């Protein structure tokens, strides 16, 4: 298999480690293969690719989409981020739990965030380019945000004063969020 799979404490969410072929010219890795991902158990169809560039101290999230939930395959091609996903699936054994992973251009790890999880990241490097594939199109009217610093969640972002969008500043507390069945 062209990828090592690391389980997380969140049901059906994984950290993926692609095999890297490196020599004095540089490196090559397979970031997505339908066949490889099907072997892992990720059979959803990706319909949209997104590219985000953010400077140090920016926190984006925790975002999710109701009615038309999105699974996301997240990777960092330049820089380093703390990537966080939060289980919003009421029927999941890990409902309300979160996981944090460092993703960077150096470790080349990827996060698989399944439908029903909120997702966000905090930029640790001068800037970071984050790419993610999504299993559903983006519908702004269906997007929701969980408050990044919700005191009930105790997420360890490593900052008390991130740079936030107005939308992320107005996030909803987890206990008041629209969740998945």
Averaged pLDDT of the chain: 96
138 in catalytic set: no
Looking at residue 174, the DSSP 8-state letter turns out to be: G
Q: How many CB atoms lie under 10 A from the CB of residue 163?
A: 15
Query: pLDDT band at residue 1, thresholds of 50, 70 and 90?
Result: low
* Six token digits for residue 96: 């309300």
pLDDT in tens, 53-71: 999 999 999 999 999 999 9
58 within a domain of the structure (yes/no): yes
Domain extent at residue 168: 44-176
CB neighbourhood size of 175 (10 A): 10
CATH of the domain at 119: 2.60.120.10
Q: Please check whether residue 114 lies inside any domain of the structure.
A: yes
> In sequence order, which ranges of the chain are alpha helices (DSSP H)?
34-40, 166-169
Q: Is residue 119 part of a domain?
A: yes
Residue 26 within any structural domain of the chain = no
d(CA 151, CA 18): 35
* pLDDT tens string 19-62: 999 999 999 988 999 999 999 999 999 999 999 999 999 999 99
**Which listed residue (6, 63, 139, 156) is catalytic?**
63
From the list 64, 99, 122, 132, the catalytic residue is 132
For residue 181, the model assigns a pLDDT of 87
What is the C-alpha to C-alpha distance for residues 107 and 99, in angstroms, rounded to an integer? 18
- The band of 2, judged by pLDDT with boundaries at 50, 70 and 90, is confident
Total number of domains constituting the chain = 1
Query: Does the pLDDT of residue 111 top 90, yes or no?
Result: yes
- Specify if 56 maps to a domain: yes
The reply to whether 129 belongs to the active site is: no
C-alpha span between 174 and 2 (Å, rounded): 37
Q: What is the pTM of this model?
A: 0.94
Q: Does 12 fall in a domain?
A: no
């Amino acid at each position: 298999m062209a990828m090592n799979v690391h389980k997380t404490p969140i049901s059906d969410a994984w950290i993926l480690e692609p095999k890297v072929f490196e020599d004095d010219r540089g490196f090559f890795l397979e970031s997505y293969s339908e066949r490889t991902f099907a072997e892992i158990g990720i059979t959803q169809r990706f319909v949209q690719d997104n590219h985000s560039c953010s400077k140090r101290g920016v926190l984006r999230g925790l975002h999710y989409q109701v009615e038309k939930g999105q699974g996301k395959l997240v990777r960092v091609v330049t820089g380093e981020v703390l990537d966080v996903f939060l289980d919003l699936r009421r029927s999941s054994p890990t409902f309300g739990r979160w996981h944090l992973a460092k993703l960077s251009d150096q470790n080349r790890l990827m996060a698989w965030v399944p439908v029903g999880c909120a997702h966000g990241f905090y930029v640790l490097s001068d800037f970071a380019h984050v790419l993610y594939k999504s299993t559903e199109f983006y519908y702004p009217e269906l997007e929701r945000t969980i408050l990044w610093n919700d005191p009930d969640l105790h997420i360890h972002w490593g900052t008390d004063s991130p740079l936030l969008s107005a939308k992320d500043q107005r996030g909803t507390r987890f206990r008041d969020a629209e969740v998945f069945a």
